[in-house]
Amino acid sequence: MLNVSEAWQHTYPGALQGLLVMRGVRNPDRHAALDDHKAALEAALRAQFAGYDRAALSAWPPLQPYARYYGRFKKTYHVQLQLESVVWKGKSIPNVAALVEAMFMAELKNQMLTAGHDFEALRPPLRLDIAAGEEHSVLLDGRPETLKPGDIFMADAEGVISSILYGPDARTRITPGTRRALFTVYAPPGVEPAAVRQHLDDISAYARLVAPQAEVELQHLYGAR
């Protein structure tokens, strides 16, 4: 399913990459059961992190490994910023298409970076690698971008499909017609394997709120030696 490069294993020993393929998914604009779970999750996060400041939040596993990774590139982990907006500013998780929203909910619950793709848009084989700084991607908003040297990315036979710093591409994005989806979790060194597995389980559980008949076709965890 995924070819992992020697460069990834040598550059980030202890890193993990989780893959989840689901078939029979649905992606409506809204879904009542998902909305109810989203409201409950927002309340739980506000209770969990009440009294935290940014320094304490940054030290919370698994945010700390992501903070270290993003710090290498002089950037701030955007999932932490989204978590801060929910916990401290009272904002809600954005209303987007249900399947993407399910992924966002799991990201905030577990603080793990995830990219979603329409499986039928992928062109195997899939590859996990380290950017040399020459790779290109067209982002979800249509902007072309060149990857940063050292960033972890995934590609198929046609090109980059996602990276840690820039997220998923436009070509393989989840659409209203997506019925088979790939979710891939980027976990820098320091994230526990059990936490990644739980995160994948949460994504599938949220997706099944929208499509109870959806099935897990593949779930696998790759580790850098």
* Residue pLDDT, tens place only, 83-122: 999 999 999 988 889 999 999 999 999 999 999 999 999 9
Does the N-terminal peptide bond of residue 62 adopt cis geometry, omega within 30 degrees of 0?
A: yes
pLDDT of residue 215: 98
Q: How many separate domains does the chain show?
A: 1
User: How high is the mean pLDDT of the chain?
Assistant: 96
Over the stretch 147-171, which tens digit does the pLDDT of each residue have?
999 999 999 999 999 999 999 999 9
Are 19 and 222 within 8 A, CB to CB?
Answer: yes
CATH number at residue 187: 3.50.40.10
Give the residue, 52 or 225, on which the prediction is more confident. Answer: 52
Domain span at 174: 2-223
d(CA 36, CA 113): 23
CA distance 149 to 48: 36
Given a cut of 90, whether residue 58 has pLDDT beyond it is no
User: Dihedral of the CA atoms 82, 141, 21, 14 (nearest 10)?
Assistant: -60
pLDDT at 130 over 90: yes
* Average pLDDT for 188-202: 97
CA–CA separation, 3 vs 59, rounded Å? Answer: 32
Q: What is the pLDDT of residues 7-49, one digit of tens each?
A: 999 999 999 999 999 999 999 998 999 999 999 999 999 999 9
**Which is more confidently placed, 59 or 200?**
200
Burial letters 183-203, b for 16+ CB under 10 A, else e: bbbbbbebbeeebbbebbebb
Rg (CA), the chain: 17
> Of all residues in the chain, what percent carry a pLDDT higher than 70?
100
Residue that the structure tokens 């099935």 belong to: 215
- Please name the residues in contact with 107: beta carbons below 8 A apart, sequence gap of 6 or more: 79, 82, 113, 114
pLDDT tens per residue across span 64-82 = 999 999 999 999 999 999 9
Q: CB count, 10 Å around CB of 116?
A: 25
